[in-house]
Amino acid sequence: MSDSNSATLGTGAPEEPVPLVGAISLIGRRSSMEDAISVWPNLCSPYINKHRPIDFFAVYDGHGGPHVAGLCRDRMYLILLEELMMTRTIISGSSSNNDNITRLRRKQLEWERVKEMWKRVLKSCFERIDEMSFVTCYECGIGVPCGCPPQHYGLGGSTVVLTILTEKTIIVANCGDSRAVLCRGGRAMPLSIDHKV
């Protein structure tokens, strides 16, 4: 094979290329690490992406302890998988010879449908993980019931910035003041907008 980033399965069929990824976390001035990272290349091949693979990357900046960031690291990608597997959308509409809509307009409509589906999927993921964080114990990091007093629940939090890569698209979603930046030709291009109070 000429492409060094490709491999073949035992059947001779090519595997999907896996992106090269690097990650580093620095503890800063805190006494313990409160942040978490998720990296899931080739997470799944959902219908919304025409059954082509997607790559998932996320950074969680824990606030008030590591528990919610850890919850996000361990559950967000699974919630995304569930939401994507439940999502069905008509990606390409049928047309007849009498159809007055141009090919360009059909592509625009298709893109708008897919974009709205991604928004719904990601909004649902964020809402579900938010609900889970409210029943996460500050002391032990697990959900109800853990035996800790009720005032220990819902005290921690986390920002989230996640990126989903498809063959043609970079999808970014964030909550809080964590941000995504794309570096192209030595120039930083913001991909998200901070949420600050």
The single residue listed with the structure tokens 């141009």 is: 102
Distance, CA of 123 to CA of 129 (rounded, Å)? 10
Residue 36 has pLDDT above 90, yes or no: yes
* DSSP-derived 3-state class of residue 185: coil
**Residues of the chain above pLDDT 70, percent:** 76
- pTM flag (> 0.85): no
Distance, CA of 170 to CA of 163 (rounded, Å)? 7
Distance, CA of 81 to CA of 90 (rounded, Å)? 19
Pair 38, 55: CB distance under 8 Å: no
pLDDT band at 66 (very low <50, low <70, confident <90, very high): confident
Q: Span 35-92+102-168+177-190: which CATH code?
A: 3.60.40.10
Over residues 100-134, the pLDDT tens digits come to 668 888 888 888 999 999 999 999 999 999 888 88
Instruction: Name which of 173, 137, 129 is nearest 154 in CA terms.
Output: 137
Distance, CA of 117 to CA of 156 (rounded, Å)? 30
Pair 92, 76: CB distance under 8 Å: no
Pair 155, 140: CB distance under 8 Å: no
* DSSP-derived 3-state class of residue 79: helix
In this prediction, residue 2 carries a pLDDT of 39
Distance, CA of 193 to CA of 132 (rounded, Å)? 24
